[in-house]
Amino acid sequence: MSTGFRILNREHSVSSDLVAKFARLPVANVSDSMHRMTAGGPRLIKMHREGVLAGPALTVKARPGDNLMLHKAIDMAQPGDVIVVDAGGDLTNSLMGELMLAYAIRRGVAGFVLNGAIRDADQFIAMNLPVFAVGITHRGPYKDGPGEINVPIALDGMVIHPGDLMLGDSDGVLAVPIDAAEEVYAKTAAKQDAEARQMAAIEAGTNDRSWVDAALKRLGCAMPEGN
């Protein structure tokens, strides 16, 4: 085994049932249910037109500006996989463009999270596969390696293991560890129910706002008379 230039098998993967359940939940609420401690960072922005990202991670660690391992990952991907690439956040060369995107769609890839750049940006909008990346450049990639597939990677401190659940919407990208996915889903579903009740109270004009003044007083905030 050659650390830094190797391809491994993915041993575990989040279930398709959980993927479908999470796909209906806002990423922000899933994040809240994980104590707001995990995020892919604000540099990862949506490159597609609309739609959510949800699926098990197929991880890639690539040399900045090189997409040899990304090509191999697309060949290896199972339908529904999200290919997650740590290429160091470099924007000098793109990692993929229109042709790779079309091939990935044909392969059934559910989306991409790229710590690097894309090119052919208009086609990413037109084809509308969920893709998050950190930038755009017309300069193409190299194909020399090295790199690794199905190893733990990290994006802005967010650790992703092969098979973890990847989520993305207009608020950003989040990884849910496979071993915690059931628990996080239960917490998020409960939060969704609570927010639905709160929205109903807002619409009915019965929303309780007493907690605001209670928090201010508890924190010692000076307030005018009568408040």
Residue 99 in marked binding region: yes
Residue 97 in marked binding region: yes
Residue 120 in marked binding region: yes
Closest CA to 55 of 104, 108, 130, 110: 110
Residue 50 in marked binding region: no
* Cis peptide bond N-terminal to 146, omega within 30: yes
Closest CA to 13 of 56, 73, 58: 56
Those residues with Cβ within 8 angstroms of residue 201's Cβ, 6 or more apart along the chain or in another chain: 207, 208
Residue 98 in marked binding region: yes
Backbone angles phi, psi at 188, to 5 degrees: -70, -40
Please provide the distance, in angstroms rounded to a whole number, between the alpha carbons at the two ends of the chain: 68
Backbone angles phi, psi at 129, to 5 degrees: -85, 135
Annotated binding site for substrate: 97-100, 119
Annotated binding site: 97-100, 119-120
Annotated binding site for Mg(2+): 120
